[in-house]
Structure 1
Amino acid sequence: MDVTKNRPSIIVEHVQKTFLLRHAHSFKEAFISKIKKKKISSSFQALKDIDFTVNEGESVAILGYNGSGKSTLLKLISGVLEPDKGRILTRGRVAGLIEVGAGFHPDLSGRENVYLNAAILGMSKREIDERFDDIVAFSEIEEFIDSEVKHYSSGMFLRLAFSVAIHVELDILLVDEILSVGDAPFREKCRKKIRELVDEGKTMVVVSHDTGTVRDLCDRGIVIRKGEMVFDGPVEEAITALKGK
């Protein structure tokens, strides 16, 4: 029996997240709103008492319609955001395909950006050296690797950024709608690469509107509706629960 299968990779404990929404965007607007006794800001509770555990090697889909809070939850797990209440614990190295290319610098070459972004994602220079050729080959932009990134098309930029993220030595992979990157053959290649990571026993949490992708990559689904967790169970039942009112 593999005991690691019952070892938690992600623990989300009674997590809440509230955002402040500003209704006045300038001092003048704020002044007028105050005179008219209108609210300058209001709070929006994006997540309410979210509580679940993901065990090592599990592939879990976070499902929900726009504005449900699923992307906020993924950012909390990645550490990009912090919860207002509750806590989130993760085991091992977390790689998030959330804001792909966020660490890229336009004035640096593709080669320099690979090293920079991979380092931001937690890789050592030795690890990057070992994987550099694979990263570039996967991106399919070998002939442009020494050109400045500001001269790349958006497709080239996303291919390289995705390729860096997917080749990070990771324990937990977080994926947010990123399988829409590039053309159909490249998207399929990305899906296969993620499938390989799942088959290797990596822990994965994915946010996607594509139920085909969710079925292919995940065994379990968590449905969030208006910031509340309404279902946690087998992925097929989760998809049904998502479509239910």
Structure 2
Amino acid sequence: MSSLSGSPDEQQTGLAVKVDNLSITYRTTFERKPTLRQALIRFGRGQRSVREVHALQDLTFTVPVGTAMGIVGANGAGKSTLMRAVAGILPPTQGSIEVWGKASTLLALGVGFNKELSGRENIILGGLAAGLSRKEVEERADEVAEWTEIGDFIEMPMRTYSSGMSARVAFSVAVHMKPDILMVDEALSTGDARFRAKANDKMAELRSSARAMFLVSHGLNSIKEMCTAAIWLDKGRLMMEGDPESVVEEYKKFTKVKKSAATEDDV
């Protein structure tokens, strides 16, 4: 089960998120190459095979109010799947997720944007998707547009944007809609060094007002500098939970990644 609000007694425990024995399994199909004989029988069509993917396996952890939770792990570890589960987008196969407060829905930057609409129009759509009223969104639209620092491009269709410009718009929407639980997936790799510093400052500001924050990033410095706790996932399993410095160091040892500028900075 996944709930968006807990009972009064549960809220008094001071938790923002509780994940209990969470597993998510889904089935996917892929094309298997046929033999010549099979191809002749099936007129050249490939054979569809079904594969079961265990995206998350038996995860249990809690996130107290005021926590900035970093999530580290290699590609395919289950980081984004976990974020989508907490946001209520993916239902648990087993176990439960309880969330006290409203989680942001802009996880992967730019997801849900209409490329034919302008940046400003997508800002309004993003705000409405976050649950704000039309009036509230329009009141914040100018502030969000100015924060992106893309100038007149904000009035142009997003299909004309570079990937970095699109990411700026998406990140700006995410951090200005003031969710109870802020969830950001790889946002801090966007833009130049000055914009990234600005993004860091905004995230720090939000930490003081949001009930909790989740940050998924391959930039290990961002995890250590911006988070108060961290978890490490590998192939859907929880490998370690603890302070960011310790989790990052153990993750690096496991992956045999030597300390260097490339591994410590956002990439």
Tell me how far 1:95 sits from its aligned partner.
Answer: 0.9
Tell me how far 1:206 sits from its aligned partner.
Answer: 1.2
Correspondence for 1:108: 117
Q: Judge conservation of contact 1:218–1:235 (CA < 8 Å) in 2.
A: yes
User: Relative to structure 1, is the Cα distance of residues 125 and 23 closer, same or farther in structure 2, using a 3 angstrom cutoff?
Assistant: closer
User: Relative to structure 1, is the Cα distance of residues 147 and 27 closer, same or farther in structure 2, using a 3 angstrom cutoff?
Assistant: farther
SS of 2:183's partner is strand
User: Aligned pair 1:10/2:17, yes or no?
Assistant: yes
Tell me how far 1:172 sits from its aligned partner.
Answer: 0.2
User: Relative to structure 1, is the Cα distance of residues 143 and 231 closer, same or farther in structure 2, using a 3 angstrom cutoff?
Assistant: same
Correspondence for 1:41: 50
Q: Judge conservation of contact 1:97–1:173 (CA < 8 Å) in 2.
A: no
Correspondence for 1:68: 77
Gap regions ≥5 residues in structure 2: 1-10, 255-267
Aligned pairs for 1:69-108 within 5 A: 69-108=78-117
Tell me how far 1:228 sits from its aligned partner.
Answer: 1.3
Q: Counterparts of 1:28 and 1:81 in 2: how far apart (Å)?
A: 37
- Residue type of the partner of 1:102? V
Correspondence for 2:249: 240
Residue deviations 1:52-99 (CA, integer Å, cap 9, x gap): 111111111112122221221111111222221112121112114422
Tell me how far 1:244 sits from its aligned partner.
Answer: 3.5
Q: Judge conservation of contact 1:12–1:87 (CA < 8 Å) in 2.
A: yes
RMSD between superposed Cα atoms in Å? 2.7
- Residue type of the partner of 1:60? M
User: Aligned pair 1:54/2:63, yes or no?
Assistant: yes
User: Relative to structure 1, is the Cα distance of residues 178 and 64 closer, same or farther in structure 2, using a 3 angstrom cutoff?
Assistant: same
Correspondence for 1:23: 30
SS of 1:193's partner is helix
Q: Judge conservation of contact 1:47–1:73 (CA < 8 Å) in 2.
A: yes
User: Relative to structure 1, is the Cα distance of residues 156 and 49 closer, same or farther in structure 2, using a 3 angstrom cutoff?
Assistant: same
Q: Counterparts of 1:236 and 1:176 in 2: how far apart (Å)?
A: 20
Tell me how far 1:146 sits from its aligned partner.
Answer: 2.4
Gap regions ≥5 residues in structure 1: none
SS of 2:95's partner is strand
- Residue type of the partner of 2:62? T
SS of 2:155's partner is coil
Correspondence for 1:125: 134
Tell me how far 1:17 sits from its aligned partner.
Answer: 1.2
**What TM-score does the superposition give when structure 1 sets the normalisation length?**
0.86
Q: Judge conservation of contact 1:93–1:172 (CA < 8 Å) in 2.
A: yes
Residue deviations 1:102-140 (CA, integer Å, cap 9, x gap): 222222222222111210121212221332221011101
Tell me how far 1:23 sits from its aligned partner.
Answer: 2.9
Give the length in aligned residue pairs. Answer: 239
SS of 1:145's partner is helix
Correspondence for 1:147: 156
User: Relative to structure 1, is the Cα distance of residues 153 and 221 closer, same or farther in structure 2, using a 3 angstrom cutoff?
Assistant: closer
Tell me how far 1:28 sits from its aligned partner.
Answer: 10
Q: Percent identity?
A: 36
Tell me how far 1:147 sits from its aligned partner.
Answer: 2.2
Tell me how far 1:179 sits from its aligned partner.
Answer: 1.1
Q: Judge conservation of contact 2:78–2:235 (CA < 8 Å) in 1.
A: yes
SS of 1:169's partner is coil
Q: Judge conservation of contact 1:78–1:95 (CA < 8 Å) in 2.
A: yes
Correspondence for 2:169: 160
- Residue type of the partner of 1:66? N
